[in-house]
A = this chain, B = another copy of it.
């Protein structure tokens, strides 16, 4: 079959400023595939349709439309074409992410098998979802948030961002102690610094003792993604606490460099950023070879969650999985079906062809943003209809 259309849909909750979504639809041979870019919608739309401006700045759509789609090799070939033809178009990696996911969705419908099977995994292992949420504004609020998800049955909990790292190391300690107390001694505790320390190893080190004392499994993103030397220096001091990072990686090489040089215990990959399921699977393979644990990065819809789980679905030892427990209405309504913890507290991928989840087009209409881009008198983009 041939790729007949690639459409981008900018979705937004007008009353919430920072949780927009970019939904991708591809049509090929009577199949409709859906994906999501974890990316700025307007910039990604411009990158899909921009005029050719330099030989290595072709619009991303030009490398996708009309291509053959019959096998995994076709998806890899299309991705390679996008990277070559849009080499100097920085946003292209984010564009490719949602497109690649949608291509896998369409192809695996065509081949009547779940995506993880096409990736070479005989089965998908259930994962232990960690409840991913923000720190409270105060240690008491952090405690209350931890209690809530512990009572919901989560045996692994991540606290991140908010005040952590922005004040004193003592305040950090109070939050981490409250977090550990709230979830109980046996639960997995994960801490996310949200790149707050830039590349300042000394400041980061000051908050390590509390993490060691409270037996945090990982410290996530103490630094910006590129600061490998800072990561490596901190890793040497962190001992029992492993470093986690990688969500900012937007191509395979960035992740490989982190695996090789940042001293990570866990690499966290967002399939909606790294170039899709294809590139995420390459990272999972590379992580496994190096004895580093792969984890998904997902904080939005269950379509994005399914896409992020496929690349390591077959790795039984890579057990943790990020599971957003504070989703906004747009993320919830984005799909008709949802991936929910079973009685044992585990989550599993749908045993259906494709990603196994479908956008709720009726619900999404109200979030669709009107966009129009005109260049030199020609309309290059106008929001398409969600109806098929």
Chain B residues with Cβ under 8 A from A47's Cβ? 40, 43, 46, 91
Closest chain-B Cβ to A268's Cβ sits at a distance in Å of: 14
Q: Are B89 and A40 in contact (CB under 8 A)?
A: yes
Tell me, in angstroms, the Cα distance from A57 to B42 when the chains sit together.
11
Query: Of the candidates B20, B226, B251, B376, which one forms a contact with A370 in the assembled complex, judged by CB atoms under 8 Å apart?
Result: B376
Tell me, in angstroms, the Cα distance from A57 to B253 when the chains sit together.
23
Tell me, in angstroms, the Cα distance from A373 to B380 when the chains sit together.
10
The number of residues on chain A lying at the interface, defined by a beta carbon within 8 Å of a beta carbon of chain B, is: 58
Q: Are B90 and A20 in contact (CB under 8 A)?
A: no
A33 interfacial contact with B, CB 8 Å? no
Q: Are B251 and A226 in contact (CB under 8 A)?
A: yes
Chain B residues with Cβ under 8 A from A320's Cβ? none
Q: Are A90 and B254 in contact (CB under 8 A)?
A: no
Q: Which residue of B lies closest to A227 (CB)?
A: B253
A155 interfacial contact with B, CB 8 Å? no
Considering the complex, which residues of chain A in the window 337-388 have a beta carbon less than 8 Å from any beta carbon of chain B?
A: 369-377, 380
Chain B residues with Cβ under 8 A from A20's Cβ? 51, 53-54
Q: Are B88 and A40 in contact (CB under 8 A)?
A: yes
A147 interfacial contact with B, CB 8 Å? no
A228 interfacial contact with B, CB 8 Å? yes
Q: Are B51 and A42 in contact (CB under 8 A)?
A: yes
Which of A11-19, A106-114, A180-188, A208-216 lies on the face that meets chain B?
A: A11-19
Chain B residues with Cβ under 8 A from A224's Cβ? 83, 87, 253
Query: Of the candidates B42, B273, B372, which one forms a contact with A46 in the assembled complex, judged by CB atoms under 8 Å apart?
Result: B42
Chain B residues with Cβ under 8 A from A65's Cβ? none
Tell me, in angstroms, the Cα distance from A335 to B266 when the chains sit together.
50
Q: Are A90 and B88 in contact (CB under 8 A)?
A: no
Interface code A247-275, partner B: CB below 8 Å = 1, 0 otherwise?
01011111011001100000000000100
Tell me, in angstroms, the Cα distance from A295 to B376 when the chains sit together.
36
Chain B residues with Cβ under 8 A from A260's Cβ? 261
Chain B residues with Cβ under 8 A from A14's Cβ? 376
Tell me, in angstroms, the Cα distance from A260 to B226 when the chains sit together.
13
A195 interfacial contact with B, CB 8 Å? yes
A78 interfacial contact with B, CB 8 Å? no
Chain B residues with Cβ under 8 A from A289's Cβ? none
Q: Are A54 and B19 in contact (CB under 8 A)?
A: yes
Tell me, in angstroms, the Cα distance from A254 to B228 when the chains sit together.
10
Tell me, in angstroms, the Cα distance from A83 to B254 when the chains sit together.
17
The 4 closest A-B pairs by CB, nearest first: A226-B253, A46-B46, A20-B53, A42-B50
Q: Given A18-B54, A42-B53, A257-B257, list of 12 further CB < 8 A pairs?
A: A40-B47, A41-B53, A42-B50, A46-B373, A87-B195, A88-B248, A90-B94, A226-B256, A257-B261, A370-B374, A372-B372, A372-B373
Can you report 6 A-B residue pairs in the complex whose CB atoms are below 8 A from each other? A18-B54, A18-B57, A225-B253, A260-B261, A369-B375, A370-B377
